[in-house]
Amino acid sequence: MKPERGKQQLRKGRVSLPGTFYFVTSCCEGKRRLFDDADNARVVFDCLDWLAAHGLLDLHFAVVMPDHVHLVFELSETRELSAVVKSFKQFTGRRIGKRTELSGPVWQEGYYDHAIRRAESLADIIKYCWFNPVRAGLVEDPSEYRWWRSKCKLE
């Protein structure tokens, strides 16, 4: 039997649990490098600030790469994971689409999510995300990269 592909496979087993930490990745449609534009990257952080201020998530880490974002947050009790990600993608998509006069979607359909279990280390996942710009060859030291935010002390 051939394995399923696409967004249906991403949703398989997805559970939305309040108070759970999630690692979420969302990619730009067609892997466009929309976040080479600093104003587009700021839109992402403005949206994350709004979501946090309205109690939808507690952001612990975010890195905005040229063509995707990695987020680590604790889900609040007010909305399901899919609703939070939908709000994030809709707001940023509209704002970026309007300011860049982009035709078509900003984000790919679907997203990758991973509920962080107790046996896993939240710090290890955050460190993995923090070093993403180094692995991509954008900087030699992750602290040199401009588009990241963390509640945790990173070294």
pLDDT of residue 5: 56
**pLDDT tens profile 103-115:** 899 999 999 999 9
- Report how many helices (DSSP H) and strands (DSSP E) the chain contains, helices first: 5, 5
With a cut of 80, say whether residue 49 has pLDDT above it.
Answer: yes
Q: Which CATH number is 17-150 given? A: 3.30.70.1290
This prediction has a pTM of 0.87
Task: Answer for the pair 115, 15: CB distance below 8 angstroms, yes or no.
Answer: yes
Q: How far is CA 42 from CA 9, 48, 121, in A?
A: 31, 10, 28
Q: pLDDT band for position 155 (50/70/90)?
A: confident
pLDDT of residue 33: 97
**pLDDT tens profile 126-141:** 999 999 999 999 999 9
State the chain's mean pLDDT as an integer.
90
pLDDT of residue 11: 46
How many CA atoms, within 13 angstroms, populate the side-chain half-sphere of residue 104? 8
Q: Percent of the chain beyond pLDDT 70?
A: 90
Q: Percent of the chain beyond pLDDT 90?
A: 76
Q: What is the mean pLDDT of residues 27-56?
A: 97
pLDDT of residue 16: 72
Q: Is 4 helix (H, G, I), strand (E, B) or coil?
A: coil
Task: Answer for the pair 117, 123: CB distance below 8 angstroms, yes or no.
Answer: no
For residue 74, the cross-strand partners are 21, 58
Tokens of 146: 């401009």
Q: What is the mean pLDDT of residues 94-122?
A: 91
Query: Structural domain boundaries of the chain?
Result: 17-150
For residue 70, the cross-strand partners are 25, 63
Give the amino acid at 50. W
- Residue owning tokens 């534009």: 37
With a cut of 90, say whether residue 77 has pLDDT above it.
Answer: no
